[in-house]
Amino acid sequence: MVLGAGLLTTYLGLSLAADGVEQLWIGGMMSAYYLGLVVGSKLGHKLIGRVGHIRTFVASAGMVTASALGHALTDDLQVWLALRLLVGTGMMCQYMVLESWLNEQADTNQRGTVFASYMIVSYVGMVGGQTVLSFFPELGLQPLLLVGICYALCIVPIALTKRIHPAPLHPAPLKILPFWRQVPQSLTTVLMAGGISGSFYGLAPAFAAGSGLSTKEIAVFMSATIFAGLLAQWPMGKLSDRIPRSRLLRVNSALLGILVLTMAILPVKGPLLIGLTFCFGILAFTLYPLATALANQHIEPEERVALSATILLTFGIGATIGPLIASGLMQLLGNSMLYGYMSLACLILFIRLQRVNYNQKMAKRMLSQQHSSDYQVASGDLVSSPLAAALDPRVNEELVQQQMRDEVTGEATVEETSEVTTEQEAEPDPETETLVKTDETPSTKPE
């Protein structure tokens, strides 16, 4: 299935570029595909809940096969846009069937291995789709026939399975605004990663063709980039367990921005271009998993289903808008603006990550200062308090009230104090005298 999808995407980009179609249409084709993915994310839940996983997969594969072969019947670009939308919708339904089924069948102690194998197979299929294209340098109808064959064959294992249907899917709730406030760095990265990935898959074949590469060299160019993304997944995952993921995202976006700016400015060709696009695959295709891991790090377990739905929607929006912007810039300013757009996206991403990280640090610092200011160092008894005098039985009560009300000032204070003292010495208070006689050494320890 993924082999057919990768072959179809690159084939359409090269065909349109060879026919001299404007870059905006090429970007629109990729945007229509990702818009179909967004639509399919909602439609797939309803289909699976109504007719089950197997029927949903078979029906979606049939629709995708017919849509892919429909490109051979007409050259109308508007029809092609509609066909790409249908392909994206059907592909998302197929992805949902496969992933939910794998999640249902895999045991807890095997789920990581199962989904790692799933991702490896997907990347191998993408690389295989680019490699197969090198056998069709003239870009005739044969690649489309091969795409149809791939989509038809992917039905066979599902249709013949003896496995029991997994539980029906339920629509995941979308909480876009709360998650944007809760994990802004992650969702910003997912949005920009969607724009960069969508632009690359849709417009990189046209960029390579405009740079003078042959069909075989374009296949190598695309395969090297996707293969680099595959190789980088495990090392980057290990690295993110040791280095803070927010810092790793900032470093990744900065390095990627410098790299794509170099590719936009310098006329690189040959082995140097392959080397640079290999590095591009390492940096660009690890943004999404890093952002997803960072988001799940700050989310409660019961919110992860809603978070996954929000992440997929955010990625789809970015991948829909990105190719349109990139193709418009390529049409206005030249072929190299594909990577010029990516450098601008990386700059925006880096600034946004820096700002959010700074605001979060300042908020934590203010919170820590506020907590520290709430605690006042004081003695553990009542010696420093004005109430200490009130608790001392040897002090006249009227004198304590005058001192606490601060009614006596200047010389009057001295005179009144001496008078009160004299009176106290001449006529002792009976209650005070009784207390003094009862306990010559009164305790200062409060009860």
Record: fold of 172-364: Growth Hormone; Chain: A; (1.20.1250)
DSSP class of residue 302 equals: G
**Listed residue (20, 334, 330, 86) closest to 203, CA to CA:** 330
Q: Is 414 left (phi over 0), alpha (psi -120 to 50) or beta?
A: alpha
Measured CA to CA, the distance from residue 278 to residue 288 in angstroms comes to: 17
Q: Are residues 274 and 370 in contact, defined by beta-carbon separation less than 8 angstroms?
A: no
The tokens describing 173, both together, are 């709730």
Beta-carbon contacts of residue 55 (< 8 Å; ≥ 6 apart)? none
Alpha helices (H) in 241-303, listed in sequence order = 245-265, 270-284, 287-297
| Percent of the chain that is helix, strand, coil (3-state, to 5) | 80, 0, 20
- Please list the pLDDT of the chain residue by residue as tens digits (447 residues): 999 999 998 898 888 888 888 888 888 888 899 999 888 888 888 888 888 888 999 999 999 999 999 999 988 899 999 999 999 999 989 988 888 788 777 776 676 677 778 888 888 898 888 888 888 878 888 899 999 999 999 999 988 888 776 776 666 667 788 888 888 999 999 999 999 999 999 889 888 888 888 888 888 999 999 999 888 888 888 888 888 888 999 999 999 999 999 999 988 888 899 999 999 999 999 998 888 888 888 778 777 767 877 888 898 899 999 999 999 999 888 888 999 999 999 999 999 999 988 888 888 888 777 765 554 444 444 444 444 444 455 555 565 566 555 544 544 444 544 444 444 444 444 444 443 444 444 444 344
User: DSSP for 226-253?
Assistant: HHHHHHHHHHHHHHHTTS-HHHHHHHHH
User: For residue 329, which phi and psi values (nearest 5 degrees)?
Assistant: -70, -40
Token readout for 122 is: 């997907």
Comparing CA positions, the residue from 47, 303, 69 lying closest to residue 182 is 303
- Check: CB of residue 81 under 8 Å from CB of residue 28: yes
Structure tokens at 366: 């203010």
Q: How far apart are CA 270 and CA 391, in angstroms?
A: 92
**Nearest alpha-carbon partner for 33 in 13, 56, 53, 59:** 13
pTM above threshold 0.75: no
Name the amino acid, one letter, at 166.
P
Q: Give the separation between CA 193 and CA 88, rounded to whole angstroms.
A: 18
For 200, residues 6+ apart whose C-beta sits below 8 A from its C-beta are 225, 280, 284, 338, 342
Terminal Cα-to-Cα distance of the chain (whole angstroms): 80
For the structural domain made of 1-171, what CATH number should be given? 1.20.1250.20
- Whole-angstrom distance, CA of residue 282 vs CA of residue 92: 25
343 and 220 Cβ atoms separated by less than 8 Å: no
* DSSP letters for 190-221: HHHHHHHHHHHHHHHHHHHHHTT--HHHHHHH
Q: Where in the chain is the domain with CATH 1.20.1250.20?
A: 1-171, 172-364
Residue 266 has what DSSP assignment?
Answer: S
How far apart are alpha carbons 389 and 396 in whole angstroms? 9
Instruction: With beta carbons less than 8 A apart as the criterion, state whether 55 and 159 touch.
Output: no
Residue type, 278: F
